[in-house]
Amino acid sequence: MKLLTLNESRNAGKTRKFAVLTAVMLIFGALMSVHVVKGQALENASGSQTETAASQSTSTPTPSPTPTPSVETDQKKADPVAKPQKRGSFVIAPIPITSPTFGSGLILGVGYIFQLKKGDTKSQPSTIGVAGAYTSSGTRGGAIGGRLYFAENKYQVSFAFGKGRAQYEYYGIGRIPGQPARSTELRQSGSVFFAEFLRNVGKNIFVGPRFQYRKLTASFGGQQTTGGFVIPAIDLKSTTSAIGFHVQQDRRDNSFYPTKGWLWNAKADFFAKALGSNRTYQTYGADFNGYRAIGKGQVLAYRGSMCSVSDTAPFFDLCFYGSKSDLRGYTSGQFQNRRMFAIQAEYRRELFWRVGVVGFAGVGGVERNWSDFRLDGMLPAGGAGLRFRLDKKNKINYRIDWGYGRAGHTLSMSVSEAF
């Protein structure tokens, strides 16, 4: 009981620090976003002035008795018209984060959105990016990755490499809704590599293999909570390696801000000692996102997802409720187990200029087995958010969402929509 009181006092102190740091990060993020947008607006204005000057020079009639123009004059007039168009656009976004699990901090991401082949009008825009993370708990990390679409929407390739360390509160397995949280401070470090290759087999259905490899270490970051989580010896220093498959159908009209269509995914990864992994286990996941325009500047988006892992899966590969926006309102990892599902809907509305709002609600749960789910164990959530359009051409939004659930609330920020 004494340990629980100390833990609650420590969490209360952290909450006060989170509030102050969050306010600072919000202001910093807004200023940086405006700076990026202002730079893009200046570029667009410069481009429009060039086009206007070119059209005026083309439409002006030439008097008949004119002297022969010099080559230098011709070149000066031709230069604005001959200026090549930009192939893609950069998005620079600071993403403040605040979480009882990881602390408060900042993720700084730089992305480049472009068409891999200039004449390809069927493929979705490709994206490559780099990101770095820093939080008050001591978490540090960096990553580089991308998703490339090419050959008239026939292929897509994804890749990622990251390295870092994390210090966070781990809540264990099987927490009961409505009961006090009991956490243990963990430290993890390591590196990860991921690659995936998909081929369009018809009707925008993509099928292909995937591979991932991780080297991780884990230890306790402070005093171990009595009755709390204990790290299995096999996971103190671990290697995980898996091959798997991914099936996807993408019928969205835009990959960053869809207004119609749908996207569904089915994934499976098979970790095996023969591949270098020190455990043999499997993970499975599936999700469906749907989109429907219901008026000018209004979209109804809806999503369902599920997760399942085998009994031999390590603690860091369980189904984490609250991750991947399933559901906003819950800190990722406070509720986790071997089975999970979540359903949600979101109303999106564009207001004026680059500003928009959303409202969302959903329900889900986590259990050890599918037969264990009960109504009194469900985890509902709801909330609202603001949107600021960073890139008008690709419809990329900076989002800030406030979510509320049975165990508290969350504030999440990111680039692009939650789903």
pLDDT in tens, 235-277: 899 999 999 999 999 999 999 999 999 999 999 999 999 999 9
Q: How confident is the model at residue 339 (pLDDT cuts 50, 70, 90)?
A: very high
Identity of residue 216? L
Query: What number is the average pLDDT over the span 358-377?
Result: 95
- The pLDDT tens digits of the residues spanning 97-147 come to 877 677 788 999 999 999 998 889 899 999 999 999 999 888 899 999 999
Task: Output the pLDDT for position 133.
Answer: 93
**Which stretch of DSSP H or E encloses residue 28?**
helix 2-59
- Using alpha carbons, select from 246, 244, 250, 89 the residue that is nearest to residue 154: 250
Distances from the Cα of 205 to the Cα of 153, 154, 182, 264, angstroms: 11, 10, 44, 9
Distance of CA 138 to the CA centre of its chain: 22
Identity of residue 334? Q
In sequence order, what are the beta bridge partners of 93? 109
Burial class (CB in 10 A: 0-12, 13-18, 19+), 178: exposed
Within 8 A by CB and 6+ apart from 66, the residues are none
Of 144-158, 169-183, 203-217, 360-374, the one with minimum mean pLDDT is: 169-183
What the block records as the tokens of 174 is 């099987």
Report the alpha-carbon distance of residue 193 to residue 246 in Å, rounded.
Answer: 17
Please, what is the angle between helix 71-82 and helix 2-59, to 10°? Answer: 140
Report the alpha-carbon distance of residue 28 to residue 24 in Å, rounded.
Answer: 6
Highest mean pLDDT among 35-44, 63-72, 184-193: 184-193
Kindly give the pairing relationship between strand 298-309 and strand 281-295: antiparallel
**Which stretch of DSSP H or E encloses residue 38?**
helix 2-59
Domains of the chain, first to last: 2-52+87-415 (2.40.160.50)
Res. 2: pLDDT tops 50? no
Of 93-97, 193-197, 277-281, 302-306, the one with minimum mean pLDDT is: 93-97
Q: How confident is the model at residue 165 (pLDDT cuts 50, 70, 90)?
A: very high
2 or 330, which is more confident? 330
Report the alpha-carbon distance of residue 377 to residue 372 in Å, rounded.
Answer: 9
Q: What is the mean pLDDT of the chain?
A: 82
Task: Output the pLDDT for position 7.
Answer: 36
